[in-house]
Amino acid sequence: MPTDQTIGELLATATAPTFSFEFFPPKDEAGQQLLTKTIGELEPLCPDWVSVTYGANGSSRQRTLDATMAILQTTDFRVMGHLTCTGQSVDELKAVIDAYGDAGVRNILAIRGDMPGGPSVPWERYPGGLANATELVELVRSRGDFCVGVAAFPDGHATSTLEQDAEILLGKQQAGASFAVTQLFFEVGHYFELVGRARSAGCTLPIVPGIMPVTSVKQLGRFAEMSGADIPARVAERLLAAPDDPAQVRITGSQIAAELCERLLAGRAPGLHFFTQNRSVATREILAMLRGDHR
Ligand SMILES: Cc1cc2nc3c(=O)[nH]c(=O)nc-3n(C[C@H](O)[C@H](O)[C@H](O)COP(=O)(O)OP(=O)(O)OC[C@H]3O[C@@H](n4cnc5c(N)ncnc54)[C@H](O)[C@@H]3O)c2cc1C
């Protein structure tokens, strides 16, 4: 598959589900070494694309650009850079978009970002900034030949109704987005209901489910807070069955994620996007389970 094809083009023509990995920009040398090791371990799996997150208020701007460029220079990955519009002026956003373009990044995930404190804290537009992700999609598209992805929410966004979410997703498509990637979720039905609401609203974007394997008990509460995702009691119970055995918790988390992935693929989800947390073990375990190597 040629890497010069954008993610939108790939999703429009793919004959099999795509799979992709998300990383965050490392904060220090130890983090960089971990990311380099993780990328080396995931490279043989030949993901369709990888992405690098961006600090909500531009705080990680340079680190995101550096990590993105390092991946471009050292791998054959198709790379997507994230971009948020919280806490930044339009001029600052244009500079980042142009830096992505100069580095050869053709795919950008245009998201709003949250205020410090998370998605439920009332969001404030930065002076001279944009009002929402839809305006960011327009801005990115106006700066060059970029393929733009956007966020979608199987459990709904903290500050809107499910129906508003579907209308907002349609607006992002009309603004020039080519695909969506979802927030983490645990109820497979919520993903298919999101797709159904989007289609009823007239939105035809491929919606790639985001998969977050829970690798420790501590993460359970944190993920719910970060994403608003409902963690079903049966999922929490399975993870809490052996809370003092970290390896068992990780394996159970991978099994839960693999079961979710199987049901998503059986329902014809266009791909799977793994939030790797810059580690490879759980993602490799899940992919091996899906391929039947671990049963
Ligand atoms: C796959 C994925 C990757 C992410 N990566 C990052 C990252 O790298 N960095 C980061 O900081 N965050 C990231 N996020 C989190 C994201 O920034 C938050 O979820 C944020 O709260 C919403 O972003 P959005 O792009 O959906 O915003 P928007 O589409 O702007 O929506 C946010 C809310 O604003 C309101 N709204 C939006 N448009 C309109 C409109 N036209 N009219 C009225 N109301 C409107 C709605 O209430 C909506 O729920 C990611 C999320 C996902 C799903």
Residue range 87-134, pLDDT digits in tens? 999 999 999 999 999 999 999 999 999 998 888 789 999 999 999 999
Query: In this prediction, what percent of the chain has a pLDDT beyond 70?
Result: 96
Nearest CA to ligand 1 atom 41: 168
Question: Which of 254, 142, 275 has its CA nearest to residue 208?
Answer: 275
Residue 219: pLDDT band with limits 50, 70, 90? confident
- Nearest protein Cα to ligand 1, atom 29: 133
Query: Given this model, what pLDDT does residue 7 score?
Result: 98
User: Which helix (H) or strand (E) element contains residue 209?
Assistant: strand 207-211
Provide the pLDDT confidence category of residue 218 given band limits of 50, 70 and 90: confident
Buried b (16+ CB within 10 A) or exposed e, 263-283: ebbeeebbbbbbbbbbbbbbb
The residue-averaged pLDDT of 256-265 equals 97
58 lines ligand 1 (CB under 6 A): no
pLDDT band at 149 (very low <50, low <70, confident <90, very high): very high
Mean pLDDT of 9-16: 97
Name the residue of 80, 130, 132 whose CB sits within 8 Å of the most ligand 1 atoms, as the mutation to test its pocket.
Answer: 132
> In this predicted structure, what is the pLDDT of residue 3?
62
CATH fold of 7-290 reads TIM Barrel (3.20.20)
Closest by alpha carbon to 39, among 22, 53, 54? 22
Q: How confident is the model over 247-260, as a mean pLDDT? A: 94
CA–CA dist 86, 83 (Å, integer): 9
Is it the case that residue 2 has pLDDT exceeding 80? no
Question: Residue 225: is its pLDDT beyond 80?
Answer: no
Catalytic option among 22, 135, 138, 285: 22
175 in ligand 1 pocket by Cβ < 6 Å? no
> Best mutation site among 7, 20, 136, 168 for ligand 1, i.e. most ligand atoms within 8 A of its Cβ?
168
Q: What is the pLDDT of residue 88?
A: 95
29-80 tens-digit pLDDT: 999 999 999 999 999 999 999 999 998 877 789 999 999 999 999 999 999 9
Quick check: 108 and 149 in contact, CB under 8 A? yes
Q: What is the pLDDT of residue 60?
A: 86
CA of 193 to the centre of ligand 1 (A): 19
Question: 160: Cβ below 6 Å to ligand 1?
Answer: yes
Predicted local confidence at residue 263, as pLDDT? 98
Res 157: pLDDT: 92
Identify the residue whose C-alpha is closest to ligand 1 atom 15. Answer: 113
For all residues of the chain together, what is the average pLDDT?
93
Q: Which amino acid, 148?
A: V
The residue with tokens 């990044």 is 105
Q: Is the pLDDT of residue 255 over 90?
A: yes
Over range 186-209, report the average pLDDT.
Answer: 97
Full-model pTM: 0.96
For the CA of 53, the nearest atom of ligand 1: 8
H helices of 43-160, in order, are 61-74, 90-103, 133-142
Best residue among 21, 80, 96, 112 to mutate for probing ligand 1's pocket (most ligand atoms within 8 Å of CB) is: 112
Ligand 1, atom 36, residue with closest C-alpha: 132
CA of 292 to the centre of ligand 1 (A): 35
Asked if the model's pLDDT at residue 243 lies above 50, the reply is: yes
Residue of minimum CA distance from atom 33 in ligand 1: 159
Chain center to CA of 45? 18
Q: Where are the domains positioned within the chain?
A: 7-290
The response to whether residue 54 sits with its C-beta less than 6 Å from ligand 1 reads yes
**Which residues lie closer than 8 Å to 151 by C-beta, 6 or more apart?**
109, 111, 133, 180, 181, 182, 183
Task: Assess whether 187 carries a catalytic annotation.
Answer: no
pLDDT value of position 295: 40
Structure confidence at residue 294 (pLDDT): 45
In this predicted structure, what is the pLDDT of residue 95? Answer: 97
